[in-house]
Structure 1
Amino acid sequence: MKVNRTRHGHPQHGIAGACLALALAVLALCMPAGTALAQSAGMANLLKRYPSAQASDPGNSQREARARAERHRAEQREAERRRGEERGGSRLSPDERRRLRKNLYDFGRDIYQGG
């Protein structure tokens, strides 16, 4: 019969794992911040230690704001154009809707009542 040497609640490997996790945490804290590598251009900009030359230009923010506003207006115009195409420009008058509703009602009555 095989005997299990570990008791419930007393893992033998848990101490080694805890020591390893503690060592990795200390190593991560000791690593200088300058050695961090950015995974994208935006993060690289955030990790820079010196301010951006573009951000210091006061006219640049106004140009960016105008460009954002123009893009927004262009997107709104495009959305309006798409909405107009979806409708097809064939809106029915109230009389046409009433006549269509009546025709559909009559058609359904003929189908279900047999004429």
Structure 2
Amino acid sequence: MKVNRTRHGPPQHGIAGACVALAMATLALVAAGAVHAQSAGMANLLKRHPSHASAQASDPGNSQREARSRAERYRAEQRDAERRREERTGSRLSPDERRKLRKNLYDFGRDIYQGG
């Protein structure tokens, strides 16, 4: 009796070639992205790491940019903290201002309804 040695599904030697081709295509895309990143997120992923400090140290404006970004981050955190403090108190008016506002509203309502 003769046995047919064909297997169902893709041939096994073709899968290895496809994996190698996929890996090469991925590598080519990453290398192309390093030349010109099209988004800020990709640029952040592709920027040099601290191990390349010598390359970053040669750029004199880099430390100024970092200082500006740290200062802006600090100011943003301060604004957020101030906003949270205001939300916790529930009102931006002092007690005297609230009392005066209530009195003015009462007087205004009385004038409207009593015709005075």
Relative to its length, the structure with more helix (as a share) is 2
Give the structure-2-normalised TM-score. Answer: 0.39
TM-score (norm 1): 0.40
> Which of 1 and 2 has higher RCO (CA within 8 Å, sep 6+)?
2
